[in-house]
Chains A and B, each alone.
Chain A
Amino acid sequence: MNRGRAREALWGYAFIAPTGLGIAVFYLWPVLQTAYFSLTEWGAFGGHTWTGLDNYRRLADDPEVGRALVNTLTYTALGLLSIPLAIGFAVLLNRKGMRFVGLYRTLFFLPVVTMPVAIAMVWRWLYNGDYGLINYLLSLVGIDGPNWVADPATALYALVVVGVWASVGYNLIIFLAGLQAIPKEYYEAAAIDGAGGWRQFFHVTLPLLSPTAFFVSVVSVIGSLQLFDLVYVMAGSGAGARANPAFPRLQTVVQLFYERAFVTNDRGYAAAIVMMLLLLIVVLTAAQFRFQKKWVHYA
């Protein structure tokens, strides 16, 4: 290696050194540590002892873990509703001669940039059983609304509505970018062949948008599986949440992780819970990549 190459390599290492060290200390090593911790049990004073697969056996028998999994997966599946909604809005906004596109985009995007804690507080208030705006509006048409986030029958679905409401603007931006990338010639050709609006939508727009939809679906599933902020506030803020009768329907995997790691200080078990989360994300992402052949069209 000549001197120039050696110097370049040296500079290369120097440039990546700060991030490299930071990532190694705060991200890479912690992943390995978490994997190790999941095989240990933590005492009251922070010491931990090796217990092998005990935590994982406990996971399998823990009814709270089962509930958290069901709730999280339900939320994740229903949260995908934001994809067809976002596609619909994107197609409408992308129409020729559409006015106020910028304004609509801004309004749809407001929830995306708003602090999730603030969003959760506002919706908790809207959902309030006695004084909430939603139940007031329902009462106008003669419906006696439930106590949304405090009612086991509705709590999780109430949460899904907030999740979809908050994410539709983000997905809309991505789909608008995707729509603008579709060459106009395809529509012209379809029009010459006599295809009207709906046929163009189903035979041109949707197939050409499917790679974008696939990407959005992968990202939303990963995001939904990590649901925490909304639940933390809407269930009734941290420690008070267990008083909420709907709490069993609001527990999620990350919420359970939070409780075990930082409320009951059962960190070995908490580590096993997030290892399970990692597995879940890997499996569901891999499954989506597997399944994409069935519906994603790459032009």
Chain B
Amino acid sequence: MRRNRYVHTILIASALAMVAPFCWQLITSLKSLSSATSVPPSLLPEGRWDNYSRVFDVIPFGQQFLNTVLMAGLRTIGQVLFCSMAAYAFARLRFPGRNLLFGILLSVLMVPPQLFIIPQYQIMSSLGWLNSLQALVVPGLFSAFGVFLLRQFFLGLPKELEEAAAIDGAGPVRIYWSIVLPLARPGLVALSLLVLLWSWNDLFWPLVVNTDPGKMTLSAGLASLQGQFQTDYPVLMAGSLLASLPIIAIFTLLQRQFIQGIATSGIKG
């Protein structure tokens, strides 16, 4: 029992270290600038909610929020659909060149994403898509990782139902849509959550393609907020809290699926 007390002390102390920055963020976001920069600092918030409304005045926060929702949502829908289609083909259908194509896909998975960016940027630029929603969404509709993850998942599903459906005359489209997809729901949820998280938090690509404040996503918008209002910490803290809260809320609600997705795929954003 004594030993358990030490264990708890260590864990509580480290859990505090994990949470303290967030608490300080919240406290600072509710202070006036003068009290945030007073020495010694007060450890209590002040109820200055106007810092939150000021975030909307200094950057088009509402528009950037919408851009982020659309980017993350459309990428997620696109990847779940396209990746599951490809994954089904790689897991279940036989066609010449299957292993070769899958090998090529795996090789893409191993390349660091920075190698795609200059040419992707040029494609966007030549299509006249810079500063548009399409620029944020389209390259993110396709993912070698998503295909790989779902293929592994599909390979683990029992084949009997599919075979029975095939004997009843169901074609690949029907089998994919009415049997494989419903069975693979946990895999699809895991992929959705990962894509949602990565898209929401992504900085490099949105920063590069959309430089018009009204077209930016939240992470790029926040970074630009810091560029302009370097020292207005209460507003910076309010903005960063508002921007990260939605994904934290989703994570807390769907924690189990999320952790399963990460523990099984083991891939990091």
Is the CB of B99 closer than 8 A to any CB of chain A?
Answer: no
Is the CB of B178 closer than 8 A to any CB of chain A?
Answer: no
Stretch at the interface among A50-58, A63-71, A167-175, A291-299: A167-175
Q: Is the CB of A121 within 8 A of B236?
A: yes
- Complex CA distance for A219 and B110, rounded to whole angstroms: 11
Known A109-B251, A121-B222: A278·B7 in contact at CB below 8 Å: no
B174 to chain A, nearest CB (A): 11
Is the CB of B44 closer than 8 A to any CB of chain A?
Answer: no
B 155-208 contacts with A by CB, 8 A: 171-173, 176, 197, 200-201, 203-204, 207-208
Is the CB of B90 closer than 8 A to any CB of chain A?
Answer: yes
- Contact among B39, B96, B115, B255 for A278, CB-based, below 8 A: B115
- Contact among B10, B22, B147, B222 for A19, CB-based, below 8 A: B147
Q: Is the CB of B21 within 8 A of A122?
A: yes
Q: Which residues does chain A contribute within 8 Å of B120, judged by CB atoms?
A: 26, 30
Q: Is the CB of B94 within 8 A of A12?
A: yes
- Contact among B98, B230, B240 for A115, CB-based, below 8 A: B240
Is the CB of B30 closer than 8 A to any CB of chain A?
Answer: no
Q: Is the CB of B24 within 8 A of A133?
A: yes
Stretch at the interface among A152-160, A182-190, A202-210, A267-275: A267-275
Q: Mark B113-147, 1 if CB is under 8 A from A, else 0.
A: 11111111101000000000000001101111001
B27 to chain A, nearest CB (A): 9
Q: Which residues does chain A contribute within 8 Å of B240, judged by CB atoms?
A: 115, 117-118, 121-122
- Complex CA distance for A117 and B221, rounded to whole angstroms: 10
Known A228-B204, A238-B227: A30·B95 in contact at CB below 8 Å: no
B interface SS class? helix
Known A92-B7, A133-B41: A33·B94 in contact at CB below 8 Å: no
Q: Is the CB of B118 within 8 A of A37?
A: yes
Known A116-B203, A261-B118: A106·B14 in contact at CB below 8 Å: no
Known A111-B18, A131-B37, A219-B268: A12·B114 in contact at CB below 8 Å: no
Most interface-central of A11, A19, A20 (chain B CB within 10 A): A19
- Contact among A108, A136, A278 for B41, CB-based, below 8 A: A136
Closest to A22 in B: B142
Closest to B252 in A: A106
Closest to A105 in B: B259
- Complex CA distance for A113 and B250, rounded to whole angstroms: 10
Q: Is the CB of A92 within 8 A of B10?
A: yes
Q: Which residues does chain A contribute within 8 Å of B266, judged by CB atoms?
A: 174, 215-216, 219
Closest to B124 in A: A26
Stretch at the interface among A72-80, A141-149, A229-237: A229-237
Q: Is the CB of B112 within 8 A of A281?
A: yes
Q: Which residues does chain B contribute within 8 Å of A222, judged by CB atoms?
A: 112
Q: Which residues does chain B contribute within 8 Å of A25, judged by CB atoms?
A: 123
Query: 15 A-B residue contacts at CB 8 Å?
Result: A26-B139, A110-B248, A113-B197, A113-B248, A117-B240, A125-B236, A128-B233, A131-B37, A136-B39, A136-B40, A174-B263, A236-B230, A240-B227, A257-B114, A267-B118
A-to-B contact residues, CB < 8 Å: 5, 8-13, 15-16, 18-20, 22-23, 25-31, 33-34, 37, 89, 92-93, 95, 98, 102-111, 113-119, 121-126, 128, 130-131, 133, 136, 139, 165, 167, 169-170, 173-174, 176-177, 215-216, 219-220, 222-223, 225-226, 228-229, 232-233, 236-240, 254, 257-258, 261-262, 267, 270-271, 274-275, 277-278, 281
Name the 5 nearest CB pairs between A and B, nearest first. Answer: A22-B142, A12-B95, A30-B119, A15-B89, A118-B240
B-to-A contact residues, CB < 8 Å: 4, 7, 10-11, 14-15, 17-19, 21-22, 24-25, 28, 36-41, 82-83, 85-86, 88-90, 93-96, 98, 101, 104-105, 108, 111-121, 123, 138-139, 141-144, 147, 171-173, 176, 197, 200-201, 203-204, 207-208, 218-219, 222-224, 226-227, 230, 233, 236-237, 240-241, 243-244, 247-248, 251-252, 255, 258-259, 262-263, 266-268
